Amino acid sequence: MNTHTIDSLTDALPDTIQRFRLLFDRFRHDLDGALERADREYSQHMPSKGGVCEAAFRKYLSETLGSRYAVGQGFIFDSTGKQTKQQDVVIFDDHWSIRLTPKDSDEPPIIPVEYVYATVEVKKTLTAGELRSAIENIRSFKSLQRERVGTQYVAPNRKIDNLGLPGNTKMRNPYFSAIFAFTAGRSMNAIINQLKQDVADIPPMEWPDVIVVHKEGVILPYCTNCRVSGNHISGIVLDGHTPTYLLDKLDGAYALLGFHLLLMNHLHYSILGPLNFHEMYGVLAQVARFLAAQESA
């Protein structure tokens, strides 16, 4: 196994990253408080514990992401009608997107996959069962169909040929799914070993992109051919290479900061393509005309 270990991480880091870490102390303390509250108030009710942790994590994202991003829980569907299991956290475009539930209602939104940037499965403790459940929820998202967006897109409905933007040159809208656990409940080595076994028979494009355990570490996709870690499983697979996972041990606020840097890198370079509303109307109109012709015959 490839493992990065630094005995004195803070002393070895540049001042810029150390300042970022200090800023993230506040969010780390907020998440710590949510975990303590869950243990104190819901000692016998595991679903309630998980709900407290999920709400705290969504609050952290809402406070750190820009206003163009909506953060919620909900369901995602594609043009074939396939729908995901309920996702703990969905980050989606709140400018171009549509919702199939009222914005001011308590119902979880049902969102077209074209408008989803990322999903996160939040777990209080990353037990073997919770890890398998998270992997299956991520698969239900990553198996949805949407048209691949290339580098010519600069915004939904806006293209410039041969733009050459940085990021993934083959896909500007890759799926990004993370698992965030408040506690490991076991060693990080045990988690990464189970992870590798559990995804062995799953198409790599449906694997989680990052697994984070609060104050413990970050597990990232790793290319066995190039021997470098990546931000997306899809980037490794589209290059025709073989992915595995790499463990980076990060304590304190560094695991949370590491997750945030990876997420922001994805959001910064990801541009979603538009849903073809006119095509959908065409299907609707075609069915209506067929039924009208049947009635008049």
- What count of other Cβ atoms lies within 10 Å of the Cβ of residue 262? 21
Q: What is the pLDDT of residues 46-84, one digit of tens each?
A: 556 678 889 889 988 988 888 889 999 999 998 888 999
Handedness of CA 61, 67, 72, 76 (dihedral sign): negative
DSSP 155-216: ETTEE-TT---SS-SS-SS---EEEEEEE-SS-HHHHHHHHHHHTTTS-GGGS-SEEEETTT
Q: What is the mean pLDDT of residues 104-118?
A: 86
* Per-residue pLDDT, 41: 66
- Among 2-11, 65-74, 191-200, the range scoring the smallest mean pLDDT is 2-11
Q: What is the pLDDT of residues 71-80, one digit of tens each?
A: 999 999 988 8
Angle at 62 between CA 71 and CA 276, to 5 degrees: 30
| Burial bucket for residue 202 (CB in 10 Å: 0-12, 13-18, 19+) | middle
Rg (CA), the chain: 21
pLDDT at 165 exceeding the cut of 60: no
pLDDT at 193 exceeding the cut of 90: yes
Question: Which pTM does this prediction carry?
Answer: 0.85
Q: What is the mean pLDDT of residues 234-253?
A: 90
DSSP symbol at 240? T
Mean pLDDT, rounded, of the chain: 84
- Report d(CA 72, CA 119) in Å as an integer: 10
